[in-house]
Amino acid sequence: MAMSPPSSSFDLKLLLLLPLILLYLVLPSMRCRPLEHPGCLAGSWHKRHPSPEPALPACRNYTKKSCCTPQETSVFVTSPISHVDPISWDRCGNLSLRCEGYFKRVECFNRCSPMAIQWAHPAHPGLLHHTPLCLDFCNGWFHSCAEDLTCVRNWIYDWDWNIEGNLCPGPCTPFKQMYRDGRDLCETIWGLAFLPVSTEDCISPGCEARNTDQRDSNEDGRINFRTKRSLFLEEIEGSGSGF
């Protein structure tokens, strides 16, 4: 007795499922795709090309491949931090240790990370633009700074300025009142520098350069993406320590 051919309904289901099957097979390789590092951001404190900096006094996660020099990171050695050129951080009092830790991680990424050039501002190549920060990192930043005080939403553009530097244009307010949540904080605090996302290839400042040994990098020094799941586990404590 001859077998009947597969039904057209079965063929249609298989055709619809094929893209999902292919996506499932491809995703593991996408999560750890290598990154090219052709240079550094074009800021006044950036080197032209990344290179080892074993003597970094701070931002130590970037010693193996760094866009910053020891001199440029010395400001992050002591705590509390009062001033990171050109912004004074203490206009509403010193930041708490946990809150300061997140600011340091962001500053170290901006100044030292060889990955940062991928998100250079098209018109101002020394600045970041829409860097895809992990939403988990943004939420940790928000919760760590919730009780700290700030007088501006945007730490780049909202200050008043005179010969003494940046000044508060209004009263100091807790972060938890100034920002709705972690997404709002990341979308606002550095202008257009950050874009909070929930994708696997998001950036968690500091973690993207941590342990860049043979397990995390290729022979030519190209660093692989860490998965969002592993970054989340590292963010549970979220104190920003290690800098």
Mean pLDDT of the 2-31 span: 46
Q: What is the mean pLDDT of the chain?
A: 77
Which one has a higher pLDDT value, 127 or 89?
89
CA–CA gap between residue 138 and residue 199 (Å, rounded): 13
Over residues 100-147, the pLDDT tens digits come to: 999 999 999 999 999 898 898 887 877 898 999 999 999 999 999 999
Residue 36 falls inside a structural domain: no
Residue 10 falls inside a structural domain: no
Residue 3 falls inside a structural domain: no
pLDDT at 155 over 70: yes
Residue 161 falls inside a structural domain: yes
pLDDT at 21 over 80: no
Residue 74 falls inside a structural domain: yes
pTM exceeds 0.85 for this model? no
Residue 34 falls inside a structural domain: no
Instruction: Tally the domains of the chain.
Output: 1
Q: What value, to the nearest 5°, has the Cα angle with vertex 80 and ends 182 and 85?
A: 80
Residue 6 falls inside a structural domain: no
pLDDT at 30 over 90: no
Provide the residue count of the chain: 243
Residue 218 falls inside a structural domain: yes
pLDDT at 22 over 80: no
pLDDT at 211: 35
Tokens of 51: 């290179």
Domain that holds residue 184: 42-235
Half-sphere exposure of 207 (CA within 13 A, CB side): 24
CB 175 within 8 A of CB 145: yes
Most confident of 75-79, 233-237, 238-242: 75-79
Q: Any idea of the CA torsion for 58, 108, 219, 28, to the nearest 10 degrees?
A: 130
